[in-house]
Structure 1
Amino acid sequence: MKGPLETAVLGVRTVSVPVTDQDRAIGFFVGVLGFEKRLDAPLPQLGARWIEVAPAGAVTSVALVAAKQGTPAADTGIRLTTSDAAAAHTELAARGVAVDPLLVWEGVPPMFTFRDPDGNTFQMIEETPA
């Protein structure tokens, strides 16, 4: 195996999440989670749109890509942060979002798993200010 690239990777711009209804996904990410819509462009080559959403000020965005027929829901591996996991858990549950129990373990930030309307899973983790 060769060494690292000579041209450095600078960051992660976008991660993709498959969704069956792009407008419903925008409603969830923008209307429920409070993300901003950064890009919504037709992508006729794929018969859908390229949509990017992100928390305000975030560097990395989430692309809401049209799922192919029969694409199962994914464990996205995406960890979102919040200043108060318990409050976020309560608020999301009150809005009808499928949330798992709030996990509070000694020495670990409070966290929980939730699902978007397609069943894709995300984790919300409490982050204390530095």
Structure 2
Amino acid sequence: MKIANAQLWVHDQDVALAFYTEKLGMEVRSDVTVPEMGNFRWLAVSPPGQEDVSIVLMAIPGPPMFDEQTRSEIDALMSKGYAGTIFLSTDDCQASYEELRARGVEFVNEPTEQPYGIDSSFRDPSGNHFRLTQVKEFAPT
């Protein structure tokens, strides 16, 4: 067994697609609409060179899957950044931070030295939280 996909709820799949490809530099792995399922859209992206795992950018469904109250609760949690976190690693957190900021990504936290490495964070247009980390190499014990 291995992980194939992780899912994030998004408010608008087209806005999410633009953010993940244009600002984060990710590539589309699949973008399929299924008419037989009410035009359900499966949209998945991942970083270049990492084809074996993708992030599915899933629109929050309404009825019959979720009633309006549940849909609103998911939307509220997501907008606050509490619907989950994706952890991204980089060899140079400061350089990646500068590159992403230049593309228009708004960071919540600038790169900061932590016991485990250098860490920063940002959110996508739907409010999903991301950590961008340069993990420290630890000596074997």
State the TM-score, normalized to the length of structure 2: 0.74
Question: What residue identity is the alignment partner of 1:96?
Answer: G
Q: Deviations over 1:7-27 (max 9, x none)?
A: xxx111000011111111111
- State which of 17, 34, 44 in structure 2 corresponds to 1:52: 44
Question: What residue identity is the alignment partner of 2:34?
Answer: L
Aligned to 2:68: none
* Consecutive unaligned residues in structure 1, runs of 5 or more: 1-9
Aligned to 1:34: 25
The CA distance in 1 between the partners of 2:128 and 2:12, in whole Å, is 13
Q: 1:103 to 1:43 in 2, by over 3 A?
A: farther
Identity, in percent, stands at: 32
**Kept in 2: contact 1:83–1:128 (CA 8 A):** no
Determine helix, strand or coil for the equivalent of 1:101: strand
Determine helix, strand or coil for the equivalent of 2:104: coil
Mean Cα deviation higher: 41-50 or 112-121: 41-50
Question: What residue identity is the alignment partner of 1:67?
Answer: I
The CA distance in 1 between the partners of 2:119 and 2:34, in whole Å, is 36
- State which of 47, 60, 85 in structure 1 corresponds to 2:93: 85
Q: 1:128 to 1:103 in 2, by over 3 A?
A: closer
- State which of 16, 19, 28 in structure 2 corresponds to 1:25: 16
What is the RMSD computed on CA atoms of the aligned residues? 2.0
Q: Deviations over 1:9-61 (max 9, x none)?
A: x1110000111111111111111111110100003425441011011222210
**Kept in 1: contact 2:13–2:57 (CA 8 A):** yes
State the TM-score, normalized to the length of structure 1: 0.80
Structure with the bigger percentage of helix: 2
2:69 maps to 1:61? no
Structure 1 moving runs of 4+ over 3 Å? none
